[in-house]
Structure 1
Amino acid sequence: MSKHTVPPDALIVVADGAKAILLRNTGTGSELALKEEKRITPKSLSAESGQGPSGSRPGDQTIHQTEEATFAKQLADALYAMRHKGDFKQVVLIADPQTLGQMRECLHKEVEASMVFTLSKDYTNQSVADIQKALS
């Protein structure tokens, strides 16, 4: 029995502060079969959105931390755009604790409503097979 049930055709977002992997559950019923759709980096998102850092940077925050927070916001905005276009009905968000917290702060209500579950883990350097195994 799996720890989490990922519905068929759900979008699975595996992210950290520097990249995101978008996977789709191509399995049917309770069978989990993940297929990679695309990878997103801050550069690919900033080129599309033209957005800069989110808000002002606290004095004790490094430039790297600011870039990670900005990417989390851009990724949340990208998920809203995808949801609005009908690219997914259900989404699973898997991210390291810091990125997950930053994304939760700026997720649109439509994306939140389509959230099946979140998982506070860093799987961005894992293979698709390893991610699938962790969710099974």
Structure 2
Amino acid sequence: MNNKVIPYNARVLVSDARKALLLRNTGTALKLMFEVEQVIEAPNNAPTREQGTDRPGRTATGSHRSSLGQTDFHELEEDRFSSMVAHKLETICAENDIHKLFIVAPPKALADLRHAMPASVKHLVVAEYAKDLVNLPIQEIEKNLTF
């Protein structure tokens, strides 16, 4: 779902696994002018070595023994953040009567958002862009999304 023009008053969610920006197009489809409506940031996430103190577990099946992989706490936190963004987005869309939503995120974050998004928000999505733009200035995001 790419190369769709972003009309006036449409919302654009620009996100990654740690930060999300909800933008509103106050310009036209040809001259985008984004206004930041909301910024959502993930809480600080300590290194995995500080979060998990135990060694990886072991399992035995018959005469075979093997170790289990260590839990990746950063990946768990990224999944929680995507879920939190999806549920906040549901509330925002309902309260503000949003009809068109464009999503911009790196491929993995886009997949996580798509998976966590409730059906009430999924039907509002007009286009998805697999790009990492969340840390760029607003003017650069506008340039990258103008077609």
TM range (shorter): 0.7 to 0.9
> After the TM superposition, which residues 107-118 of structure 1 pair with which residues of structure 2 at under 5 Å, given as runs?
107-118=117-128
Alignment pair present for 1:22 and 2:22: yes
SS at match of 2:36: strand
1:128 maps onto 2:114 in alignment? no
What code does the residue aligned with 1:21 have?
A: L
Say which is worse superposed, 58-67 or 82-91, in terms of deviation.
58-67
**Residue 113 of structure 1: how far off its partner (Å):** 1.0
Q: Which residue is 1:47 aligned to?
A: none
When the two structures are aligned, how many residues end up with a matched partner? Answer: 120
Partner residue of 1:63 out of 45, 67, 73: 73
**C-alpha contact (below 8 Å) 1:89/1:114 kept by paired residues:** yes
Counterparts of 2:90 and 2:24, CA distance in 1:
17
Q: Give TM-score scaled by structure 1 length.
A: 0.80
Tell me what 2:53 maps to: none
Q: Contact 2:5/2:29 (CA < 8 Å) preserved in 1?
A: no
Q: Which has the larger share of strand? A: 2
Larger Rg: 2
User: What SS does the corresponding residue of 1:126 show, helix, strand or coil?
Assistant: coil
Larger helix proportion of the pair: 1
TM-score in terms of structure 2 length: 0.74
2:32 aligns with 32
Which residue matches 2:96? 86
Contact kept, 8 Å, 1:14 with 1:22, in 2: the verdict is yes
Q: Distance in 2 between matches of 1:29 and 1:119?
A: 16
Q: Shift of the alpha carbon at 1:31?
A: 3.1
Could you say if the C-alpha distance between residues 60 and 93 of structure 1 is closer, same or farther in structure 2, counting changes exceeding 3 Å?
farther
Alpha-carbon distance in structure 1 between the residues aligned to 2:86 and 2:144: 23
Per the alignment, in what secondary structure is the counterpart of residue 119 of structure 1? strand
* Percent sequence identity over aligned pairs: 30
Unaligned runs of 5+ in 2: 44-67
Runs of 4+ in 1 over 2 A off after TM superposition: 28-31, 58-61
Q: Secondary structure at the match of 2:17?
A: coil
